[in-house]
Amino acid sequence: MGIPSFMVLPLLIVVFAGVYYVYNEVMRFMSKSMVRNKVVVITDAVSGMGSECARLFHEGGARLVLCGPSWDKLESLHDSLCSGSDPSKTFTPKLVLLDFSDMENISDVITEIGECYGCVDALICNSSMKVKAPVQNLSLEMDKTVMDVNYFGPITLAKGILPLMITRRTGQFVLVNSIQGKLALPFRTCYAASKHAVQAFFDCLRAEVEEYGISVSTISHTFINAGAENGAPSQTPPTNRLWAYISGKLNTHGVTPSSLAHEIVRTVNRQNREVLLAHPVPWVALYIRSLLPSFFFAVVAAGVKDGAMAEQLK
């Protein structure tokens, strides 16, 4: 008995999704073994994505240097990672207090990071400060603070770690950046500017350090949807893991901390130069911005006018 023609396409989609799911699971398993013994520095490790990233690298046997602006949160993360872990398979993370909004002590922080293990295999720049407001409402001081956290902080740290990598002729920089480093949106002037700046810096750095065997990876993602991680309380999660994976890809908006953390681990293993973690709409917007800029600007401006009118009607 043959398969009805109208069933062919759905079956092909399910089969393709199943193969892709199995492939991701295999790569996820392999990635944990590939980070063993690597010295990995994670900035803003106390954030939702940073802590999830730290958990994955810790489980994989990496030697972690966790950086963050709050010592209490760093200690809490340290305790959560060490509790229940196998000391024979994992390393105790080292903690370094790092606040990019305080640039005066950055040189001491770089020295402290270098002294932890004497080398750095991967530096994951994860820190970010988000600001959303009309440009006339933002002070120059706020602009400077955002640039310190999102641009001057990461590049100063990268410049400080770079000599360690050049000496060993190996290493990797991973910039966790927003898609707004490629696509600027209204009411995010200083945020988008800082993301464009840091993207350009690491793009230039990639070409300059390739001769030393050092790789540079950038991951541009849409907004981090921490709420999607747990799912809505009213929704019953599918019992089938394959269907849960498919429905998650179809229904999720934004990027969950878990999926972003797994992408970072894959990027460290594969040393991908550039990764865009986004759903179809941002992808289409990027293409329109490149191919039809006038149309893109008109649509964005219309959206701003509609938003201003909606505020007046409230």
The whole-number average pLDDT for the span 115-142 is 92
Looking up tokens 């190996």 gives: 170
Q: Which amino acid is at 22?
A: V
Residue 154: name the closest of 210, 101, 78 by CA: 101
pLDDT digit string, tens, across residues 48-88 = 899 999 999 999 999 999 999 999 999 999 999 999 778 88
292 in a domain, yes or no? no
| The pLDDT value given to residue 232 | 45
**CATH code of the domain containing 172:** 3.40.50.720
135 in a domain, yes or no? yes
Domain of residue 113, residue span: 5-278
298 in a domain, yes or no? no
The whole-number average pLDDT for the span 28-55 is 84
51 in a domain, yes or no? yes
202 in a domain, yes or no? yes
| The pLDDT value given to residue 17 | 67
Q: Which of 67-71, 99-103, 156-160, 273-277 has the lowest mean pLDDT?
A: 99-103
Torsion sign across C-alpha atoms 178, 181, 184, 186: positive
313 in a domain, yes or no? no
Q: pTM to 2 decimals? A: 0.80
Q: Is residue 94 classed as helix, strand or coil in its secondary structure?
A: strand
Structure token pair of residue 309: 């009118």
Buried b (16+ CB within 10 A) or exposed e, 194-210: bbbebbebbeebbeebe
Structure token pair of residue 25: 């699971």
**Cα separation, 79 vs 175, whole angstroms:** 26
Percent of the chain with pLDDT over 90: 54
Looking up tokens 């002729």 gives: 169
Percent of the chain with pLDDT over 70: 79
Q: Which of 90-94, 173-177, 215-219, 310-314 has the lowest mean pLDDT?
A: 310-314
| The pLDDT value given to residue 2 | 63
303 in a domain, yes or no? no
9 in a domain, yes or no? yes
Check pLDDT > 80 for residue 108. Answer: yes
Which residues carry out catalysis? 191
Check pLDDT > 70 for residue 20. Answer: no
Q: What is the mean pLDDT of the chain?
A: 84
Q: How many domains does the chain have?
A: 1
**Cα separation, 234 vs 231, whole angstroms:** 8
Contact by Cβ (8 Å): 98, 67 = yes
